Amino acid sequence: MSKVYDVIILGGGPAGLTAGLYAGRSRLSTLIIEKGQDGGQIAITDEIENYPGQMVEGESGPSLIARMTEQAKKFGAERCSDVIKSVDLSGDVKKLVGTKGEYEAKCVIIATGAFPKPIGCENEGKFTGKGISFCATCDAAFFEDFEVYVVGGGDSAVEEAMYLTKFARKVTIIHRRDELRAAKSIQEKAFANPKIAFMWDSVVVKVDGDELLSTMTVKNTKTGELTEVKADEDDGLFGLFGFIGYNPNSQLFEGMLDMEHGYIKTDDNMHTSIPGVFAAGDIRVKSLRQVVTAAADGAIAAMQAEHYVSNH
């Protein structure tokens, strides 16, 4: 019979690690299960300048996450690297089955995150964080006075494009069709914005550059014509933001928990539709997906887990 933990936390990003820290400090026996490296999306972020108190020159996502991991460990949260394949959350003891073993706990905090859909062009991985971004709130300031391109035609793409005009000299929306999917009210604002231009019926097929992104090939979806986009010579680089939707990591819980577009619904205290099961961070239905909101969710979820364990 395996050990029954007070709480198992699924996911080692900012939400999961903060939950681990708070659960550990509350003297709950805690296990954090992460399938890959800690950090989630933040592990691939070069610079972080919007986490409160983060003024350390050269701070990167991985260095911030390394300290979060260390801090959770310091307060006794155990760690395990495994890929969970199935879960049974129905009983008083929640059961998780991974490729390496089985795990049991009185409650579970789901912090498995969500990942932006890739643009799908050649060399995308090589230039992610070096010109390609999936977060305007995080990276817009790095493109002050530069040219920026946005891929997508939905609410996110058009709203983020408008946000980017506060920083960039010009923002061009590249959309695969000749009309936007975004709500009409959002479209109207974008059409009225003099800094926004459009490349219709277009998809990015390849990106390139030396160290930083400076050229891309755009294909016309109707004619097949290829256009080379080059950075202005004085700039030497441009930004490319992808907003074509997100993939929440919630497949394991489909049919078990209440969800909206694949995101787990919670109340303000991170309770899901099953008692003893909490969700925190990007996996949740919420308005702002950032390190600071993920950390806050993780803290709340752990304190609620503590109340749940004390009362059961």
| Stretch binding ligand NAP (CB under 6 A), from 56-64, 88-96, 173-181, 266-274 | 173-181
CB of 141 to ligand NAP, least distance (A): 21
Mask for 75-114, x = binds ligand NAP (CB under 6 A): ----------------------------------------
CB of 205 to ligand NAP, least distance (A): 10
Among positions 12-51, residues that touch ligand NAP (CB under 6 A) are none
Of the residues 80, 203, 205, 296, which one makes contact with ligand NAP according to CB under 6 A: 203
Q: Write the secondary structure of 115-142 as one string of H (helix), E (strand) and C (coil).
A: EECCCCCECHHHHECCCEECCHHHHHHH
Active-site annotation holder among 135, 155, 201, 235: 135
Residue with tokens 């089955």: 97
Per CB under 6 A, 177 contacts ligand NAP:
yes
| Stretch binding ligand NAP (CB under 6 A), from 43-51, 243-251, 266-274, 304-312 | 243-251
**Nearer of residues 98 and 154 to ligand NAP, judged by Cβ:** 154
Cα–Cα distance, 300 to 280 (Å, whole number): 8
Per CB under 6 A, 248 contacts ligand NAP:
no
Active-site annotation holder among 6, 38, 121, 139: 139
CA dihedral 155, 157, 162, 166 (to 10 degrees): 140
**Nearer of residues 184 and 234 to ligand NAP, judged by Cβ:** 184
The DSSP-derived string for 170-192 is EEEEE-SSSS--S-HHHHHHHHH
In degrees and rounded to multiples of 5, residue 269 shows phi and psi of -100, 20
135 has catalytic annotation = yes
In this structure, are strands 246-248 and 170-174 parallel, antiparallel, or unpaired? unpaired
CB of 245 to ligand NAP, least distance (A): 4
DSSP H or E segment with residue 114? strand 114-116
138 has catalytic annotation = yes
Give the count of beta carbons closer than 10 Å to the beta carbon of residue 35: 15
Cα–Cα distance, 285 to 310 (Å, whole number): 27
DSSP letter (8 states) at residue 67 = H
CB of 186 to ligand NAP, least distance (A): 7
Q: Which residues bind ligand NAP (CB under 6 A)?
A: 120, 151-157, 159, 176-177, 181, 203, 243-245
